[in-house]
Each structure stands twice: as structure tokens, then as C-alpha cells.
A = this chain, B = another copy of it.
């Protein structure tokens, strides 16, 4: 039995998984991401952690299949990034540098794409190779697989579905400088924004008034029957459903998997998205499946390992 590492590099922590060739996750751990000084310590820190592990387990580096890596930013087919703001990196040939440091083979992809690979392989994607992962967190991220391969895009910008424009009449500005992006309605911050906007509109009673407003409190209030919260979730579902409808006419996926912190609201969230999607979907896409992500924070290490496992 041979093995590989799956490494998911984030702005705060690096998640590391040690996998058997058959896809079994044997061990996992985290180290800190030292992003200071242009992130110069990140790859050496990971290398030390992997070497320590191999030494401790008395494993031969030459028998390792390689290291799959997920990166929080656009990365091209050669494993080169132009800039990865969250890690402090400017131009960097990650693949070449990390192979040199570690003495193992390295494959690198964008973190949203490896998360999509992970969900396809071991999570909510049930093996479907035509898959869209939508991550509803602080922002809205996306990973798109066609025939089991990530759609990286020509400039590393594939799957940037948080920046689909879904409302031409929006007045507030998105983080990207444009207006009406999906992220302004379907992220955790977007749902809070919709809620504040709705509460300011009139005096309708709501348990949300005066309390903390977050995606969690809104979904919780909706589950308790709060009318204002239900209206907000309906609006959220309408924007996300429409965005998925547009994705569907373009690439016609088999399944849409929804993950990220907001997806902890559970099946009820899917209900609102599906209802709004089906209301106006193109006939060829009516059979599109929906699922919640299942791997949580482990999607990245699974997907990174999958870069080496067939």
C-alpha cells in the first residue's frame, strides 16, 4: 500500500491529511500558517511537519505518491500563482519550490476546486463528475468539475460564482467593486445585510429585532416561524436559485453541493434553494440534483489527496 498527503493551505492554519492509496484518511493534523515576511515560512514549515511524520511512522519518502495541495487563490496548470494575498505570497512557483523542498511530487490547485474534488469523491457529491460546489461562508466561493476535472479557467478565475451579477438594481457595492453580486445576498454577511435591510423597511414584529443578526440567528428564527426571517430566507433562496439556474444552462451539471458555514442550517436551506431553482429552470436542467456538503473542513485535504489517487 502506498500513501500520499493532502494539504489545504489557509490564511490561519494549514490542514494536513495522510491518506492510503485506497482513499482512507489515516491521520490528520494542523499547523499554523505563518504569513508574515511574504509567507516565506509556509512551505518550509509544512515540509518539516511532513518529514517529522514520516520519520515518526518510519515511512520511506520514496514510496510516497506525492503531496496534493490546495491554495486560497487562482493557480495555473503549472502550479504557479501570481499573488495569494491571504498567504502573503506574490509570484511563486509553488510546485517547483515545494518539490525541491520536500523531495516528493507535488500537484497544486485552487482550494475551492480541491474542495469540490473532495466532495465529489467522499462527500455530498456521490461520485458525480459534473459537479458544482457552492461554499456559503463569509463570502461565496465555488468549485466546478466537468468530467471529474476542475474548471480552472484561463486566468485561474473559473468558479468565481460569488461574483455572478444577480441583481442589476443593487445600490450597495460588493467587495469586488461591482454591484449586485451573488455574494451580497447568499453569504453569511449577505444574509445579515438582507435582514437588516428588511428590518429597517417597516415595523413588522420579529424576534430578530435588538438581537445579534447572523445567518445562524436568521435561519433559527425562520425555523421558529418568524415571518420576517422567513421572508429573508425566501429572498436568499431566490437569488441563489436563480444563480444556479444560470450555471445550469451553461454547463448542465449533475449535482450542486452546498457547503460553508451557512449550510449548517441544514436541509431546510436546500428546500428554499430547490424551490426557487425549479420555479423557472430550463427544461433540460429540471433533473439537477442538490446536496449538502458532508466533509466540512476536511473537504480540502480529501480533494488535495485526490490529485494523486485515481
Residues of A participating in the B interface, judged by any CB pair closer than 8 Å: 74, 128, 130, 144, 146-147, 149, 151-161, 163-165, 168, 176-178, 242, 245-254, 280, 282-285, 287-288
Closest to A253 in B: B154
Q: Which residues of the other chain, B, contact A251 by a CB distance below 8 angstroms?
A: 144, 151, 153, 158, 250-251
Contact B285 A245 (CB under 8 A): no
Is the beta-carbon distance between B250 and A280 smaller than 8 angstroms? no
Of all chain B residues, the one with the shortest Cβ separation from A289 is B154
Q: Point out the residue from B130, B147, B250 that lies within 8 Å of A250, measured CB to CB.
A: B250
What CA separation (Å) do A154 and B153 show in the bound complex?
20
- Distance from A251 Cβ to chain B, minimum over Cβ atoms (Å): 5
Interface of A is mostly: loop
Contact A176 B250 (CB under 8 A): no
With contact pairs A154-B130, A155-B285, A157-B285 given, residues A164 and B250 touching in the complex (Cβ less than 8 Å): yes
Tell me, in angstroms, the Cα distance from A147 to B147 when the chains sit together. 11
How many copies make up the complex? 2
Which chain B residue shows the least CB distance to A246?
Answer: B164
Looking across the interface, which residue of chain B has its beta carbon closest to that of A247?
Answer: B250
**Do A176 and B144 touch (CB < 8 A)?**
no
Return the contact of A157 from the options B151, B155, B284 (Cβ within 8 A): B284
Say whether B252 contacts A176, CB under 8 Å: no
Measured in the bound complex, the distance between the Cα atoms of B282 and A220 in whole Å is: 34
A250 to B165, CA, bound (A): 11
- Knowing A155-B285, A165-B242, A282-B160, the reply to whether A250 touches B144 (Cβ < 8 A) is yes
Name the contact of A178 in the complex, choosing from B147, B161, B282 (C-beta under 8 A): B282
Instruction: Give the 10 A-B residue pairs with the shortest CB-CB distance, closest first.
Output: A153-B252, A157-B284, A157-B252, A154-B254, A158-B252, A160-B249, A130-B154, A163-B282, A163-B249, A155-B284
